[in-house]
Structure 1
Amino acid sequence: MPSTPLESRLRYEFRNAELLRQAMTHRSHSATHNERLEFLGDSVLNCVVAALLFQRFAKLDEGDLSRVRANLVKQQSLYEIAQALNVSEALRLGEGELRSGGFRRPSILADTLEAIFGAVFLDGGFDAAHTVIKRLYTPILDHIDPRTIGKDAKTLLQEYLQGHKIALPTYTVVATHGAAHNQQFEVECTVPKLDVKVSGSGASRRAAEQAAAKKALDDVMAAAPALAVKPKRKGARAAKHAEAEVVPGVTGVQTALDLRSPDKKERQRVADAAPVAVIRAAHAEPSAGSYAGGEKSERHTIHRAEKGGEAPANAEKTPESTEPQQNHDEQHQVARAADTGR
């Protein structure tokens, strides 16, 4: 049986075609819909992404791992991957959802993608689901910056300013528009030291502050380029790779995930190379043979003080100086014996 276009894009062929059919069925279409598969696929997706992050980012703590995972499996990310796979092409919707454009709705497409993962799990087991999910997420993981992904604009702006010892920004509500049930807030964000003053609007004060912070962050980076960490230069091939599509058909996933990161492989290679050599040199221990040789070369003879005078407590003689001293002692003993005989 030939693969469907969706199976070709997934690079997975279902043995039980009915599972894929159910995964593509919205509840508005029939009673046999994809919500149970969505529940299962959500758990499988979280498990696989958690394992991928655990293996790739060994230095991230639990909190950062949770933050990165949450942003990789959120609705917007799944929606854009579903777009890349052209999931809407095979989506089965009721007439009402079709008329209202349900095949373009992010929530429906994201839920359908999770249902597909659940169907793959039931059809081929965990290894099959892991392979499919890993293939879709590896290009994304190659470009994300785990230090910034998932952080809102206010947090990023605050961390940037604190890192450069600049006073934190101030947020001021300068205007409100519209009726009480549908207000729009306008908030001004100011960074006096860098002469940055921008405004943003939103349906709530918090949303307006985030919009203003995003503009301020862009302006701060532009106004103080010397403060920013200079990125490593990339070759034409690396730059081309960074702009490549996540999966054939769309580049939106990278935009949605804020794919701004330095060349992690080069940074890790430089960080790992020199310190290891230094540590090994510092902890190098001599062999058993060198210990034996050391004992012979460093052995000392300590002589007791004679009646005629006291030797220093720590006086030491090397093996080369011991023989003359022994001859002198023997002569002294012979002289004493002669005196006694008299």
Structure 2
Amino acid sequence: MNDLEFAKKLGYEFRDPELLRHALTHSSFINESKMEYSANNERLEFLGDAFFDAIISECLYHRLAHEEEGLLTKTRAVIVCERSLMECGVRVNIGDYLRLGKGENQSGGRHRTSILADAMEAVIGAVYLDGGWEKARELVLRLFDRTIEEAVSGKLYSDYKTELQERLQARGEVVIHYEIEREEGPDHDKTFFVKLLADGKEIGRGTGRSKKEAEQHAARTALETERW
């Protein structure tokens, strides 16, 4: 498998193929090959993260023209997240094209959520540098079309507590506990801080305007960091 084959999957032809090469190169490969740091995808990931957020924000601003800022923010949050990036990466089989170090490859790096998500952000950054805002926008809206539609219609799965419980219990019996560490602010405008434990081990933290929101955020953090 090669970069050109992946570019065809993306539906985008790079003028500078080296940008795509960098986007598909994980830091573990660079470390083992003793190549320059700039040859990995971390800088492109940084850039892609910002443009992914901006493109989705603009899309929702127009799609949800009569909705308040709060709903726009919540809708964006379920699109611009590690999970949706990972799922997009799976759809285009990005894991098959990544350059990983031997250790990372042997430990399942081609299927790791964070690596797939980061690589997709790097690809977005690479397309922006290669073709500009409109090409990056076109790519994002095409690749994330289904995700956007589900989010706008309220169908996108966002019950992180249930998902986490199901994934943890698939590995066996586990005791999950959400512990409120503290509360800040007056009664009418409180912020709750929650710590999430699985069999006594901390696996996530979250904050929110309600206990339920804070717990959801803690569960989401646990899913994204996979510290369990």
TM range (shorter): 0.5 to 0.7
The structure richer in helix per residue is: 2
Q: Cα 1:77–1:204, aligned 2, differ >3 Å: closer, same or farther? A: farther
In structure 2, the residue matched to 1:219 is none
Matched-pair contact (CA < 8 Å) for 1:67–1:150: no
Matched-pair contact (CA < 8 Å) for 1:78–1:113: yes
In structure 1, the residue matched to 2:49 is 42
Q: Cα 1:104–1:149, aligned 2, differ >3 Å: closer, same or farther? A: closer
Offset from partner CA, 1:7-60 (integer Å, 9 cap, x none)? 112110101000000000001111321100000000010000011111111122
Alignment of 1:118 with 2:125, yes or no, is yes
Alignment of 1:11 with 2:2, yes or no, is no
In structure 2, the residue matched to 1:184 is 175
Q: CA RMSD in A?
A: 3.1
Single out whichever of 65-74 and 145-154 deviates more from structure 2: 145-154
Question: Quick one: which of 89, 94, 106 aligns to 1:99?
Answer: 106
Offset from partner CA, 1:190-243 (integer Å, 9 cap, x none)? xxxxxxxxxxxx7289x9x98xxxxxxxxxxxxxxxxxxxxxxxxxxxxxxxxx
Offset from partner CA, 1:254-280 (integer Å, 9 cap, x none)? xxxxxxxxxxxxxxxxxxxxxxxxxxx
Q: Which amino acid aligns with 2:8?
A: S
Q: Cα 1:152–1:204, aligned 2, differ >3 Å: closer, same or farther? A: farther
| 1:87 CA displacement | 0.3
Q: Cα 1:152–1:140, aligned 2, differ >3 Å: closer, same or farther? A: closer
In structure 2, the residue matched to 1:179 is none
Matched residues in 2 for 1:185 and 1:128: separation?
Answer: 44
Question: Quick one: which of 43, 55, 63 aligns to 1:56?
Answer: 63
Q: Which amino acid aligns with 1:14?
A: F
Matched residues in 2 for 1:117 and 1:65: separation?
Answer: 22
Q: How many residues align?
A: 168
Q: Cα 1:150–1:62, aligned 2, differ >3 Å: closer, same or farther? A: farther
Question: Quick one: which of 140, 146, 153 aligns to 2:147?
Answer: 140
| 1:65 CA displacement | 0.7
| 1:63 CA displacement | 1.2
Matched residues in 1 for 2:65 and 2:89: separation?
Answer: 29
Matched residues in 2 for 1:94 and 1:61: separation?
Answer: 46
Matched residues in 2 for 1:184 and 1:34: separation?
Answer: 38
Matched residues in 1 for 2:66 and 2:105: separation?
Answer: 47
Q: Which amino acid aligns with 2:139?
A: V
In structure 2, the residue matched to 1:67 is 74
The structure richer in strand per residue is: 2
Alignment of 1:203 with 2:210, yes or no, is no
Secondary structure (helix, strand or coil) at the match of 1:130 reads helix
| 1:138 CA displacement | 2.1
% of aligned pairs identical? 39
Alignment of 1:79 with 2:86, yes or no, is yes
| 1:140 CA displacement | 2.5
If you compute each CA radius of gyration, which structure gives the higher value, 1 or 2?
1
Q: Which amino acid aligns with 2:9?
A: R
Offset from partner CA, 1:56-107 (integer Å, 9 cap, x none)? 1112211111111111011111001000010011100011101111111000
| 1:145 CA displacement | 4.6
Matched-pair contact (CA < 8 Å) for 1:68–1:150: no
| 1:141 CA displacement | 2.4
In structure 2, the residue matched to 1:198 is none
Q: Cα 1:140–1:147, aligned 2, differ >3 Å: closer, same or farther? A: closer
Q: Which amino acid aligns with 2:29?
A: H
Q: Which amino acid aligns with 1:184?
A: V
Q: Which amino acid aligns with 2:20?
A: L
In structure 2, the residue matched to 1:241 is none
Q: Which amino acid aligns with 1:53?
A: L
| 1:151 CA displacement | 5.5
| Structure 2 gaps, min length 5 | 31-36, 162-173, 179-196, 205-210, 213-228
Matched-pair contact (CA < 8 Å) for 2:176–2:199: yes
Matched residues in 1 for 2:99 and 2:145: separation?
Answer: 29
